[in-house]
Amino acid sequence: MNEASQERPSRPLLLFGGTGQVGRQLLRALAPLGAVVAPSRADADLTKPDTLRAVIHRVRPAAVVNAAALTNVDRAEREPDLARAVNDVAPTVMAEASRDVGALIVHYSTDYVFDGAASTPYDEHAEPNPINVYGATKLAGERGVAASDAPHFIIRTSWVYSAEGNGFVATLLRQLNESRPVRVVTDQVGSPTWSQSLADSTAGILRTVATPTDFRVPRDDWGVYHLGGSGEASRFEIAQEVISARAISASAPVVIPTSAAEFNAVAPRPAYSALFNRRAAERFGIRLDNWRVELRRMLASQPT
């Protein structure tokens, strides 16, 4: 690709999921690229495809960015029909409507499309084989987007965190502030990804394909991209890094190593789902820093 474009498309960008931990960062990161329209749930209900289609046809955006999903893995296992509606049908409809109005679609997916049998990070050529409903419905959504024939970037990410909300790191920070022992899984490994870096990397890709009116993506550049924090870690290692960065100490163990089996989760999780960001680096020069660097950067930006 050419050097990053400074163009700002005249048509707006349409963002679904603007209130989530990635969506909030996208509102900031995408703003330099054009006006960002983020419909409310009342205007765009992920379980009502006609509302999604109507919004896209009304706004006629240059790009649709879908950061909305049912990400609660256990809830997806308990409510597969809801998971299918939100993670499969909704993005497929978004992609078809994007094609109708000549828009690029950016759709976020997950490392949980893999079964965890690997021992080295998965790149974009690895064969998906989900082991839970969440992963299966996200993979179906990927395939629906790809089949729409709309220009598309499908961005798989892993273990997204921020300091807010109910994610692992945010919850851990609240628990550690209470100075009580916390049980943390040691036998699941992924690529921790700061939501801010994920949003900034997405915007960086879009800048390279921006024109004065829209986003132009050669067909060879359509498809799946991995954007996870560089390196790999267990949740226990993440917790240790948080404790080290915050200089937390206690007379009793703050973090208790625990196996995944002891949590008796409803849905199985892949034991290993680290990602290798091969294609984003090769095509767009996008590289995320090591997860430890990113985590400490995020922690340093927060009040202690």
Catalytic residue positions? 134
Distance CA 69, CA 87 (A): 6
Distance CA 30, CA 297 (A): 21
**Terminal Cα distance for the chain, rounded:** 42
